[in-house]
Chains A and B, each alone.
Chain A
Amino acid sequence: MQLEAYFYDGQTSKRTACMLEIGPSGYFKLPNDLQWQWQQLKVSPRIGNTPRFLDLPDGSRLESSQNDLIDQLCEQYIPEAHKRPDLIHTLESKLRYALAAVVITGLMIWWFMAAGLPAIADKVAQRLPISIMQELGAETLTVLDQSGLFSDSKLPEEQQQALRQQFREIADNQHSDFNYRLHFRDGGIMGPNAFALPSGDIVITDQLIELADHPQGIQGVLAHEVGHVEHRHSLRMILQSSTYPLIITAVTGDMSAATTVLAALPTLLVEKSYSRRFEEEADQFAIDYMRQENMDVKHLAALLTKLENNTKHGNMPDWFSSHPATERRVQMLEDAK
């Protein structure tokens, strides 16, 4: 058989075009008059129709594009290594395998983002020591106070005491080692709001307390915030968020520079979706607590509805929001009755 190739001796860049005559037992002669056997060659793997490089033991090399002929020669002369066709090349050469790969890849990525990653993040977050959570939130409240976003609470001392007492009951109900503290602030431009820092520091604004018609509404909100802490949502969000740049890079590779800017949008959507899931978990936590204490979840539902009417942020579509739509949350609370 005849193989058309370029020969390079490896000492200089001199190129010799040659037509190799491969004899019956695999012997062939190079332009430099040395004789070798096909079995002595190291053949580079087949990748599409990329030219192949055949390494000779003395450092010289052949370059040839006759891929099919080279595969045939390998099967013929090195049968033990080529009993089965090259698996990877077979996968890469058929359209049906490529389509199967598209489907598998798509499903795997979707499953990983929707279920795998949150589950792993949850497992990891629950196993990390509580000191990490305290580190995470240590400076936040100080920074927020210095930013001028909040000012000191104007709530009467006795009302604060009563709320602290209720909060203490929720906190004591937990079996974790979080050091729960309740902070009252004047919400200023932020208005009615409550949020939890990962350390167990929970902030509630005067405006939210004024908004509530029934004390059990506030207790529901506090239980919701404790739920965020107990479920370690901020830590899980960090763990999840640091993973998807890796996914985008894995998919787009060299092209990732081009997509960085536009990738911000899908990233944002994914993050919001995680955040909505966390809100639902925290709502469920509040429902469980309120039931256990024989409270009526309708007070929490009422407070959420008032909060919604108060903020009037227009109708943001659900998939763009960090919280589930209030109607859905209220529905969930009503279903819980």
Chain B
Amino acid sequence: MNEPVQPKLAIQEPQVLDFQFHGKAGEFFRIWIVNLCLTILTLGIYSAWAKVRTHQYFYGHTTLGGSSFEYTALPIQILKGRLIAFGLFILYQVITNFFPLAAFPIMLLFAAVLPWIIVRSMMFRHFNTRYRNIRFGFDGGYVQALIAYVLLPIGSALTAGLLYPYAVCRQQRWLANHSRFGDTQMSAEFKAGAFYSIYLSALFLMISTGVLFFLVQTAAPTLIPLIPLVILPFYYLVYAYIKVQVMNLTLNNLRLGEHRFESRMRTLAYLWIFISNTFAIVFTLGLATPWAMIRSANYRATCTSAHIHGDLDQFVQAQQDQQNALGEELGETLDLEFGV
């Protein structure tokens, strides 16, 4: 805590504060392996504590302007949510394995419950995130979530993906516009066009590579066996491109009151981290996982900054009810990925 308090600047000139990540792979490795070992020895019970400790490590080592983020969920809440989610997951596995015909009604049921899970999950996560002793909050509703996460994706499946970028746009907009820090609302004005241009570029990337493969196939058939070797990195490239562009677009359009954010992630840098992480994890039988997690968090923080008008002292706490962890744990068990 030796950093000097930020000097006050003129109101018109925003000061740029960089997000910083101070986690160390060596330190986190010990936390990670102890988490994993105790989780196994307690038959999974400890996983709730492991999750909280991991989050606390990553939040605590992420700073903005010298203050740390804080994760405040209680392990026992997570454990309860996790047990229920795990039970439902097993039930689902068993039912769909034995009665494949039941898969469709279960899917319908799931589609109806999914928006609720997402809402609860966001509420829990935001409620348990603090910065400068001010809580984040989330107030999205069921209907908007249903449209963004269920109806639009179904619509995009029916239109051969035409609606997909719009669905992503609606999801990001919904997440941003219902988040707040203390009682200060976040907001984001996304144009669907920006999302369409990201996905069109990805499509162009795919088509041009398809053409390339075709040319290789006709011109130099001896190279055909090499194509699978190229497919995997290429698949990762498209994944990384979409992920990075959507993240940049989202953060660059995000407003918190009069403050705004900046994200400078780059596709190739992200791709390199992603691929090298993957290989490191697979070839060390998982032991490189903590190193990979630290690297990713580090890169993400390095590329993000906040443009602050005035100073960060003006946010006011909002009144909120305690949130339970069921939604979050359901979301996690079903491997959903969302969030700003």
Contacts and interface: CB of A to CB of B under 8 A. Distances in A.
A101 interface: yes
Interface of B: 1-2, 5, 24, 27-31, 33-34, 36-41, 47, 49, 53-54, 56-57, 60-61, 66-68, 70, 93, 97-99, 131-134, 182, 232, 235, 274, 277-279, 281-282, 285-287, 289, 292-293, 296, 312-317, 335, 337
Contacts of B31: 47-48, 92
Contact of B56 (A44, A63, A65, A250): A44
A13 B315 contact: yes
Contacts of B312: 13, 15
Given A132-B98, A255-B277, A262-B282, A13 B30 contact: no
The 4 closest A-B pairs by CB, nearest first: A50-B60, A8-B133, A101-B37, A13-B315
Contacts of B282: 259, 262-263, 266
Contacts of B274: 258
B213 to A, nearest CB: 19
A24 B298 CA distance: 41
Contact of A98 (B29, B93, B286): B29
B5 A15 contact: yes
Contacts of B24: 48
Interface stretch (A72-80, A103-111, A155-163, A308-316): A103-111
A10 interface: yes
22 contacts: A4-B1, A9-B133, A13-B134, A50-B60, A50-B61, A53-B70, A59-B133, A66-B1, A88-B38, A88-B49, A88-B53, A92-B34, A98-B29, A98-B30, A101-B36, A104-B40, A106-B285, A135-B99, A136-B98, A251-B289, A258-B278, A261-B232
Given A13-B131, A136-B98, A254-B293, A104 B281 contact: no
A242 interface: yes
Contacts of B335: 249, 256
A178 interface: no
Interface string A14-49: 110100000000000000000000000000110111
A13 B182 contact: yes
A65 B41 CA distance: 31
B34 A251 contact: no
Given A50-B56, A63-B68, A258-B274, A105 B316 contact: no
Contact of A242 (B27, B97, B99, B132): B97
Nearest to A238: B97
Interface in A294-317: none
B133 A101 contact: no
Contacts of A189: none
Contact of B281 (A53, A59, A259): A259
Contacts of A331: none
B338 to A, nearest CB: 13
A320 interface: no
Interface in A212-256: 238, 242, 249-256
B134 A252 contact: no
A45 B52 CA distance: 11
A97 interface: yes
A109 B40 CA distance: 8
Nearest to B286: A251
B37 A104 contact: yes
